[in-house]
Structure 1
């Protein structure tokens, strides 16, 4: 329940920030009459995300067992790629996202024709990115979880994200967004490592990947996956009580590589005096 809650909270706040930045800029520049177009873009992006999620879920329910395992593996791999790129992208552009949205908004409203459609499209693509990221991640989590806890966690995360977004927009809440995205990003990378390990295992069960299947260690007697603690760890971090060389290797290789990229210092921007010296 915690994993889908945090993911939905993070993605929801990110989407709320995008909408909030657009709404504030429109209000500050005297263009508040364009807000209906913004909400149309948000609604279309949410509808697309729900349609894609429901469609993929219905497709998977019709597959035979081996094809379901393959589908689960592919969804997990896509989720890992999307989650990793999302975390690293946000780390890179967090400080400039407001300026980038302002530029995109000005460009959408610059023309004399089709301004409403341009604004709807701009908001749609900005919000749809967050929605589709969430869809693939939640599909990967739901496939590895049983019972209503995961969907309830996602729903609770969405509700809290909406409330936080409204509070941020109204100015009644102050939140250190840099620290929020940093710590949730770190958590997401650990979760993504577990999804990758489970995807490798699903590829084996689908008969696609059969190499490196030797068991590294067996702690099923002391911390079984179907026990209370083991099931929580499995649902949150992809814990396996009898990991193979391929699953444990995928987990460690991904996690080490992702953490190195995550903590790698961002290149320093050249100062204005330095730029002036180079131009002179």
Structure 2
């Protein structure tokens, strides 16, 4: 969970810090530095509201747990998180081209309107959006224990890494290729998203809410392969294999539980888990290729013609 928390916090905090940094830098450059205090006021309220959302979400999740509906809420959170992360990857693919210019354009419009309230609201919504997304993703990767994810080393290191990258970017002592950063982070977020998706499929099948095309002779959901001998997905599976087979698997269950959380690894996947996992990657790749081709066509259409 620490690695997932790191990547999610890094991505969300980096975008919020970059946007706020671009706003304050733009205000200084346009002689509107006196407005910066209103930007930071919006940031403060955004952080406070995000924390309240985390508390509310934890109460709701705990309430569902006491009513026996926690698994259903968990499935919903995983599927929605998968959708949001996929949308985030697509969004980052578009925005990484001229991220700074687009933010400055929006701030220019706000300054032209001359409304301090608009500046506060804009800063507030920027931070709140990233905060709410972080809370939602933390709920998905931690099984509802949001506080545990917030207090993890991954979350802290992700925040620190985002601060370092932002400082380097705005100080200009080193050029930080944001496009490259966004592509790398997008790749890891895509892996997390696929893992959440396949875990949701597994829970649906365990609860009998989703059928299968492949069953054993005993009527149970069939597995297309079993890698427990290589790497069990949980320490309990490790102990069970050791007891039944009389020998230990090659890799520890602690390693397996890490890959299950990060990659959605399953030691004995069903046909649907295996196929849908790879179909998800194929679908997102197709969307990214289509988006890239669309960008090239638009660039070619707007390019000057030499006569």
Name 1:136's counterpart in structure 2.
136
Length-normalised TM-score, structure 1? 0.88
| 1:214 paired to 2:245 | no
Task: Give, in whole Å, the separation in 2 of the partners of 1:43 and 1:153.
Answer: 23
**Structure 1 pair 206–56 and aligned structure 2 pair: CA distance change class (3 A):** farther
Q: Which has the larger radius of gyration?
A: 2
Between 127-136 and 68-77, the greater mean CA deviation after superposition: 127-136
Moved more, 30-39 or 153-162: 153-162
> Which residue is equivalent to 1:121?
121
1:225 to 211, 226, 233: 233
In the alignment, is the contact (CA less than 8 A) between 2:54 and 2:146 conserved in 1?
A: no
TM-superposed CA distance for 1:48, in Å, is 2.5
Q: How far does residue 145 in structure 1 lie from its aligned partner after superposition?
A: 8.8
- 1:175-190 equivalences in 2 (<5 Å): 175-190=176-191
Identify the structure with bigger relative contact order (alpha carbons < 8 Å, sequence gap 6+).
Answer: 1
CA RMSD of aligned residues (A): 2.5
1-structure distance, mates of 2:113, 2:283: 45
Seen in structure 2, the aligned counterparts of structure 1 residues 208 and 129 have a Cα distance that, compared at 3 Å, is same
Matches within 5 A, 1:150-165: 151-165=152-166
Structure 1 unaligned runs (5+)? none
User: Whole-Å Cα distance in 2 between the matches of residues 205 and 199 of structure 1?
Assistant: 10
Match of residue 78, structure 1, among 77, 80, 86: 80
C-alpha deviation, 1:186, in angstroms: 1.1
Deviation of 1:11 (Å): 1.9
Conservation of the 8 A alpha-carbon contact between 1:201 and 1:247:
yes
Q: Matches of 1:252 and 1:36 in 2, distance apart?
A: 48
Provide closer, same or farther for how the CA distance between residues 111 and 222 of structure 1 changes in structure 2, counting only shifts above 3 A.
Answer: closer
Provide the residue aligned with 1:102 in structure 2. Answer: 104
Residues 18 and 127 in structure 1, CA contact (< 8 A), matched pair in contact too: no
Paired position in structure 1 for 2:249: none
Q: Which residue of 1 aligns with 2:274?
A: 248
CA contact (8 A) 1:164 1:173 kept: no
What does 1:234-273 align with in structure 2 at a 5 Å threshold? 234-264=260-290, 265-266=292-293, 267-268=295-296, 269=299, 270-273=301-304
- Report the CA distance shift for 1:74/1:170 in structure 2 as closer, same or farther (over 3 A): same
> Paired residue for 2:51?
50
Q: Which moved more, 1:185-194 or 1:39-48?
A: 39-48
* Segments ≥4 residues shifted beyond 4 Å: 144-150
Which structure 2 segments of 5+ residues have no match?
214-220, 235-252
Distance in 2 between residues matched to 1:41 and 1:101, nearest whole Å = 16
Cα drift, residue 207 of structure 1: 4.5
Structure 2 length normalisation: TM-score?
0.81
Name the CA distance, whole Å, in 2 between partners of 1:255 and 1:31. Answer: 46
**Matches of 2:144 and 2:265, distance apart in 1:** 11
